[in-house]
Chains A and B, each alone.
Chain A
Amino acid sequence: MTVLIVGAGPAGIRAAETLVKAGLRPFIVDEGARAGGQIYRRSPPGFVRSPSKLYGSEARKAVDLHRTFDRMVAAGQVEYRPKSSVMALRDGVAQLVGPDGLTERPYERLVLATGAMDRVLPIAGWQSGGVYTLGAMQIALKAQGVALGQQIVLLGTGPLLTLLASQLLKAGADVRAVLDTSPMRSQVKGGTRMLAARPLATLRGLSMRAGLRRVYHPGVNGLRVDTDVDGPTAVRWRDASGRQHRTKCDAVGMGWHLRAETHLADLAGAQFRWDDDFAQWLPQEDEMGRGGKGLYLAGDGARLLGADGADIAGRLAGIACLQDFGLTAPDPSADLRRMRRMQRFARGMQRAFSWPAQMAAQTPDDTVLCRCEGVTAGELRNTTNWSGPEANRAKSLGRVGMGRCQGRYCQLAGAEIIAAQSGLHPRDVGRLRAQTPVRPVPVDALIND
C-alpha cells in the first residue's frame, strides 16, 4: 500500500501522521531542505532565534508540527525525500528530480499537499529586481534573518500584508507604507463574517493592524513602481480620497492573497471549477479531499484556508485514504465540523480582501504582464484580437504563460485582460493546462548516460 505524499507543510505532515498511526509507511517528497512548509518554514542549522520570535502566536503549532515530522523520520515510519520536486506524474508513476538526479517512483495512492504562492497582479515597474512577493519577504525574514531592502513599501491585500508589515517592523526593518487595495467598507463587511467564524483569529489580526498605525492605507489604487538601474526608487499611489502620493523606497513587496499550486493536481486528473469567492480555478474534491480515483488533495493547493485549515485537511485526506484502502480509520466528524468553520472564515476573508479584478483588467498597455519574458498587457490584447478569447491559445501565440514560471504569476491577471478584451467573464476564457515538467529540469538529468 504505497502512498506518495507531495509536500511537507502542515497538510502533508498531518496526512503522513494519520497514515503512520494506521501502520502505513508513506513516501514524502518535499522541495524544502527542511520540512515545515512556508508558514512554518524552519531556519537552517546554526540559527538561534526562538520559535516565538519566528512564528509569534503560532509558535506552539509550528514546534508541534516539526517535532511530529522529525519523530516519524527518526523512527523510520516515513520515507522522506527533501530538496526534491515531482516534475511529472503518469499512470501511477511519479518522476522526481532531486539531489540524486531523476528517479521514478510508483505509487498506489497520491496525496497532493502542494500549497500555494502569492497571487500577484502586474503593476508598472514590477519586473525590476527589488520587487518581491510578500511571501518572499517573509521567507527572507524567517529563514535568513534578513530584510530585502532598507526602505520597504508593501502593497496588495490580504492577511499576509498586515502580518508581514508587523513582523518586519518588529524585527527592526524600515517599512515606509502598507498600501491595501481593499477599501475599508468591504473589509468591514467581510470582517464581520470572519469574526463570526473565528473570533480569536480575527481579533488577533485587528490588533496587529492597529499596531501599524499611520503606515497603513486602505482603499489604495493607481499603483506604480518608479525604478532606476538599481531597482525601485519609489511607489506612486492614490489614496482612498483620490490624493496622489509618492513614497520613496528601495524594495517593494506585493501580493493579493494566494493562488493555489495546482499543476500536479491537473496532471493527476483532477477536475477544476472556477470559484467566484477565491476568483481562481480550484480542483474539485469531496469534503474529505478526494479529487479522483486514488487522488487526495489537502491544504492550500486545493482550498485556500491557511495553515490551520491545511492541518485539518491533511488529517482528513489521510483518513479518506485509509477508508478507501478498507482500513480502520479515525472518525472524521469533528474535523469536518472545524473544516466548515474554516471555510466560512476564508470566504469572509475573500470578501474583506478581494482580488481587484478591475485593476487587473485595466492594466495599462505598456505594463509588463509576463515577468519571465517581458510580454506587456498591450501585447496580450493584440494577441487576443486574432487568437480569440481562449487562454491556452493566447498563450501559444503570445507567450503569456509560456515562460519559466509556467504561468504561475501571470495567468490570473492574463485571464482578466483576455476576458475584458472580449466582454467575457474570466471563467469563460479557459484555464491554462499544466504541462510537464512542472518545474524546470536540467537537461543532463533527462539524458541517460
Chain B
Amino acid sequence: MTGGRVHRLAEEGRAPIAFHLDGEPASALFGDTVLTAILLVRPHLRRAEFGPEGRAGFCLMGACQDCWVWQENGPRLRACSTELAEGMRLLTSDPEPWGQP
C-alpha cells in the first residue's frame, strides 16, 4: 500500500487545515476527523498491543475503542470521534511506552 488507506469520494471543497503527524507537517480539510486525517496518508493509526498487526479503527462510532492515538502534549484522543483542530500534534506511537522509564 502506498500512503493512505482512506480516499475521498466527495466534499473536497473544504478549507485546508494544518497539523503535525509524528513530528512532520501534514494537512487535511476542515471537518475531517483525526482518523480521516491520519489514514489519508497512513495505512494505520497505531500498532496493536497484543499482536503484530496495525490498527486503523473498527466501528467509527465510539464503541470499540480501537482508534486511540497520542498527542505530543499528553492526552490521548479517540480518533474516530474527534474533529481535527488546527495545529494538533498527533502521534501514532506511544511517546512513553510501557516498560521504559
Q: Say whether A172 contacts B5, CB under 8 Å.
A: no
CB distance from A55 to the nearest CB of B (A): 14
Known: A46-B15, A129-B56, A144-B33. A250 touches B9 (CB 8 A): no
Check: A123 CB closer than 8 A to any chain B CB: no
Q: Say whether A145 contacts B83, CB under 8 Å.
A: no
Check: A326 CB closer than 8 A to any chain B CB: no
* A interface, over-half SS: loop
Known: A146-B9, A171-B10, A230-B54. A38 touches B61 (CB 8 A): yes
Measured CA separation A408–B48 after assembly (Å): 18
> B residues within 8 A CB of A439?
62, 65
Check: B96 CB closer than 8 A to any chain A CB: no
Q: Say whether B15 contacts A129, CB under 8 Å.
A: no
Check: A49 CB closer than 8 A to any chain B CB: yes
Measured CA separation A43–B49 after assembly (Å): 32
Q: Say whether A139 contacts B31, CB under 8 Å.
A: no
CB distance from A116 to the nearest CB of B (A): 10
Q: Say whether B81 contacts A46, CB under 8 Å.
A: no
> A residues within 8 A CB of B8?
145-146
Known: A144-B32, A405-B65. A49 touches B7 (CB 8 A): no
Q: Say whether B11 contacts A49, CB under 8 Å.
A: yes
> A residues within 8 A CB of B65?
372, 404-405, 439-440
Q: Mark B57-75, 1 if CB is under 8 A from A, else 0.
A: 1111111111000000001
The count of residues in chain A whose C-beta lies closer than 8 Å to any C-beta of chain B is 57
Known: A140-B60, A144-B33. A127 touches B9 (CB 8 A): no
Check: A117 CB closer than 8 A to any chain B CB: yes
> A residues within 8 A CB of B61?
38, 117, 135-136, 139
CB distance from B66 to the nearest CB of A (A): 7
Residue in chain A with minimal CB distance to B45 = A129
Residue in chain B with minimal CB distance to A174 = B7
Q: Say whether B59 contacts A135, CB under 8 Å.
A: yes
Q: Say whether B48 contacts A374, CB under 8 Å.
A: yes
Measured CA separation A439–B83 after assembly (Å): 19
> B residues within 8 A CB of A172?
9
Given contacts A127-B53, A140-B60, A371-B66, 7 further A-B contacts (CB under 8 A): A47-B31, A135-B61, A147-B7, A171-B9, A230-B44, A372-B66, A373-B50
- Ranked nearest first, the 6 interchain pairs of A and B with the lowest CB-CB distance are A374-B50, A129-B56, A145-B11, A44-B31, A404-B65, A136-B60
Interface residues of B (CB under 8 A from A): 1, 5-15, 30-33, 36, 39-40, 43-45, 48-51, 53-66, 75-76, 80-81, 83
Interface residues of A (CB under 8 A from B): 31-33, 38, 43-49, 83, 85, 117-118, 127-133, 135-136, 139-141, 143-150, 171-173, 227, 229-231, 250-251, 261, 368, 371-374, 404-405, 408-409, 439-440, 442
